[in-house]
């Protein structure tokens, strides 16, 4: 049986830098590796990785494996698998962590199948069982109405981690780590999917996942206009972004990219306004990690009030403009 050691992060890049989920995974992985007194490893796959490897060390990695190849420029499962499968077999990590992202959702199950091991998706917390030295994984179940704790005997253990569930370490450029150029010869004949075209989503304002304030509207807004006017005005005032529950996205009132929840984006801003949103568990699954939730709803029995720290019972048409006006006065004072 292989001697499993260390925690391996499958990192992601965004515009040549580490993606924020990767810095969060490194923060969490550092703690797990310290508890085990083993190394924190990070695999960066792509083209022109350069500075991101140094960043990975500064955020906590002991060893960074840099796999560069023209066919690894964009995430594609068959080519990434050739790298990860080989590296995992060489370094035998105890656990492999990746983000609950487009890549992680696709790659995690594939890698688990390839390695004939287990996978826990969308983890909110990870720790090490001091007796068995295995990874203990906490994840939501029953549409986020409960959390369950899992562990597994199959090695290595694989987990995908929800964005913003973990905190990155403070960047420390004086940290020492090893950057290893991991030579790969990707067999392109085994790559079954080809990216024909990449269409960049038009960035309108701040990215939802990065916004410190989110003003989210639900079906109760009745149509697309309030998203562009009433909600946008409040979001702009607070340097925030507009989001939506699923029905407005399904109805085409807003772009699908604004949809928050179990099947949409998972967000954790400092402040989350839920306006005319009933608070179904599939919606709150995407926003319950927000630091403060303020609900505005005309129905005093709406479930969202159970999630919210502050609530206003009233029609959004009256409450939101009044709130925006008051905030403007306070901010101008
Ligand atoms: C498998 C599955 C996955 C799902 N994934 C998601 C997901 O990712 N995200 C998601 O959001 N949903 C998701 N849903 C749908 C979810 O179950 C709910 O149907 C949805 O969240 C309801 O959206 P809502 O709160 O905007 O609308 P509603 O439930 O219709 O609520 C509208 C609210 O607006 C209030 N209201 C109406 N008029 C006003 C007014 N003038 N002023 C103030 N308040 C007003 C009402 O009192 C009501 O509470 C999923 C469902 C399933 C089955």
> CB under 6 Å to ligand 1: residues?
218-220, 245-247, 261-264, 276-278, 280, 282-283, 286, 297-299, 302, 315-317
Q: Is residue 253, in this structure, part of any structural domain at all?
A: yes
Contact criterion met (CB below 8 Å) for 175 and 53: no
- Dig out the tokens for 329 from the structure: 């006065």
The pTM for the full model equals 0.79
195 assigned to some structural domain:
no
Q: Are residues 234 and 172 in the same domain?
A: no
The answer to whether residues 17 and 109 belong to one domain is yes
Burial class (CB in 10 A: 0-12, 13-18, 19+), 201: exposed
Helices (H) and strands (E) in the chain, counts: 10, 17
State which ligand 1 atom lies nearest to the alpha carbon of 245. Answer: 11
Interval between CA 236 and ligand 1 midpoint (Å): 24
pLDDT per residue as tens digits for the range 132-159: 999 999 998 887 778 899 998 899 999 9
Cα-Cα-Cα-Cα dihedral of 259, 264, 268, 274, to 10°?
40
Domain span at 128: 7-190
Is the domain of 159 the same as that of 30?
Answer: yes
Q: How many domains does the chain have?
A: 2
Query: Which H helix or E strand runs over 311?
Result: strand 310-313
Please indicate, yes or no, if residue 201 is contained in any of the structural domains: no
**Nearest residue (CA) to ligand 1, atom 8:** 261
Query: Under a CB-based contact definition with an 8 Å cutoff, are residues 41 and 62 in contact?
Result: yes
Instruction: Name the domain boundary from 146, 163, 190.
Output: 190
Packing angle between helix 77-91 and helix 102-115, nearest 10 degrees?
50
List the CATH number of the domain containing 51. 3.40.50.620
Ligand 1 atom nearest to CA at 303: 49
Nearest CA to ligand 1 atom 18: 280
252 and 294 in a single domain? The answer is yes
Residue in 100, 227, 230, 278 to alter for ligand 1 test, most ligand atoms within 8 A of Cβ: 278
CATH code for position 224: 3.40.50.1220
CA 219–ligand 1 middle distance (angstroms): 6
- Asked, for residue 197, whether it belongs to a domain, the answer is no
The CA-atom distances, in angstroms, between 308 and each of 54, 109, 279 are 41, 34, 9
Based on the fold, state whether residues 152 and 249 are members of the same structural domain: no
Rounded distance from Cα 218 to ligand 1 centre (Å): 6
User: At 209, is the pLDDT very low, low, confident or very high (cuts 50, 70, 90)?
Assistant: confident
Residues 146 and 13 grouped into a single domain = yes
- Asked, for residue 176, whether it belongs to a domain, the answer is yes
Query: What is the spatial distance between Cα 111 and Cα 159, in angstroms, rounded to a whole number?
Result: 11
1 pLDDT tier (thresholds 50, 70, 90): very low
Q: Is the pLDDT of residue 178 over 80?
A: yes
Do 50 and 16 sit in the same domain of this protein? Answer: yes
- Least reliable range by pLDDT among 42-46, 50-54, 264-268, 293-297: 264-268
Asked, for residue 184, whether it belongs to a domain, the answer is yes
Taking all residues of the chain, what is their mean pLDDT, rounded to a whole number? 94
173 and 218 inside one domain: no
Under the banding of pLDDT at 50, 70 and 90, the label for residue 220 is very high
- The per-residue pLDDT for 203 is 61
């Amino acid at each position: 049986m292989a001697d499993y050691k260390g925690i391996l992060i499958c990192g992601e890049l965004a515009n040549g830098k580490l993606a924020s989920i990767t810095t969060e995974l490194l923060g969490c992985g550092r703690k797990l590796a310290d508890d085990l007194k083993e190394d924190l490893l990070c695999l960066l796959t792509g083209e022109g990785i350069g500075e991101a490897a140094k960043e990975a060390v500064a955020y906590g990695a002991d060893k960074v494996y840099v796999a560069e190849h023209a066919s690894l420029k964009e995430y594609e499962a068959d080519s990434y698998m050739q790298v990860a499968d080989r590296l995992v077999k060489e370094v035998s990590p105890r656990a492999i962590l990746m983000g609950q992202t487009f890549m992680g959702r696709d790659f995690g199950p594939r890698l688990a199948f390839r390695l004939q091991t287990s996978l826990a998706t969308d983890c909110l917390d990870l720790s090490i069982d001091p007796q068995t030295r295995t990874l203990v994984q906490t994840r939501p179940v029953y549409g986020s109405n409960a959390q369950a704790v899992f562990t597994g005997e199959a090695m290595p253990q694989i987990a995908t981690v929800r964005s913003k569930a973990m905190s990155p370490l403070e960047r420390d450029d004086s940290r020492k780590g090893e950057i290893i150029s991991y030579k790969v010869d990707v067999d392109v004949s085994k790559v079954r999917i080809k990216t024909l075209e990449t269409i960049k989503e038009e960035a309108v304002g701040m990215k939802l996942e990065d916004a410190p304030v989110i003003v989210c509207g639900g079906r109760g807004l009745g149509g697309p206009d309030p998203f562009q006017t009433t909600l946008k005005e409040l979001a702009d005032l607070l340097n925030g972004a507009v989001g939506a529950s699923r029905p407005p996205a399904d109805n085409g009132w807003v772009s699908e990219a604004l949809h928050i929840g179990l099947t949409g984006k998972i967000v954790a801003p400092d402040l989350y306004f839920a306006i005319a949103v009933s608070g179904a568990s599939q919606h709150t699954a995407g926003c319950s990690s927000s630091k403060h939730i303020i609900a505005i709803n005309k129905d005093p029995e709406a479930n969202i009030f159970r999630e919210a720290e502050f609530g206003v019972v009233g029609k959004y048409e009256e409450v939101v403009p009044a709130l925006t006006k008051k905030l403007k006065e306070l901010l101008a004072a």
